[in-house]
Chains A and B, each alone.
Chain A
Amino acid sequence: DIVMTQSPDSLAVSLGERATINCRSSQSLLYTSNKKNYLAWYQQKPGQPPRMLIYWASTRESGVPDRFSGSGSGTDFTLTISSLQAEDVAIYYCQQYYDTPQTFGQGTKVEI
């Protein structure tokens, strides 16, 4: 199975400041034939299901604020929240869908 490792496990960021979450996969998620990275990011708030924010490593899902952005390729990826808002307090997960079983990172808790 592809192992997904996030860092840090938690971080505290002031309102309006930047938050950066890293995700590393145990093998490349770049499918060379279509040049796509099979990597998504999700946000989960307490008592709610996950919400997809980013797919194909950098494509923002419809309705997601543009302060969320994804970058990276191959095995190293980053989710950036450019200006943290109070409603962004949540746990964030990366997920690979390059192979089955699809696997998720352990999560990064973002606090104010």
Chain B
Amino acid sequence: QVQLVQSGAEVKKPGASVKVSCEASGYTFTRYGMHWVRQAPGQRLEWMGWINAGNGNTKYSQKFQGRVTITRDTSASIVYMDLSSQGSEDTAVYYCARGIDSDVYQSLDHWGQGTLVTVSP
């Protein structure tokens, strides 16, 4: 069965970067896209960006352009999300979610368990 397992919770100082990983199993990794979505406390879900796990193409939300980088390691079936220059407003649960195919314009059929990132002095 499809599984997405994310790395553990992080606590970061303002201005620092965080790198969250998402290890995929149970399907052909390169045939699908992977999206990153975050949820700040009491807020709606917020889409951050996507990577085509096959060819490595990426697309990011303008809101995070320049601060977020999504990469993948096809040999290990892992997708990474790197967010730099964090502020307190970046405190959130970060999710990876698989698209129903490789294209960015797809719904999200499997989700990781979430990674809590806390930004605090």
Contact = CB atoms under 8 A, between A and B. Distances in A.
25 contacts: A40-B107, A42-B108, A49-B97, A49-B112, A49-B113, A49-B114, A50-B108, A52-B108, A55-B107, A55-B109, A93-B45, A95-B108, A97-B105, A98-B105, A100-B47, A100-B50, A100-B59, A100-B61, A100-B104, A101-B47, A101-B62, A101-B63, A102-B35, A102-B47, A107-B44
Given A49-B95, A50-B45, A95-B45, A101 B61 contact: yes
B111 A104 contact: no
A101 B59 CA distance: 9
Give the residue among B107, B109, B113 with the most A Cβ atoms within 10 A. B107
Interface in A36-81: 38, 40, 42, 49-52, 55-56, 61
A105 B44 contact: yes
A103 interface: yes
Interface string B77-107: 0000000000000000001010010001111
Contacts of A51: 111
Nearest to A56: B107
Contacts, number: 55
Interface of A: 38, 40, 42, 49-52, 55-56, 61, 93, 95, 97-107
Interface string B23-64: 000000000000100000000111100100000000101110
A103 B45 CA distance: 8
Contact of B44 (A97, A99, A104): A104
A97 B114 contact: no
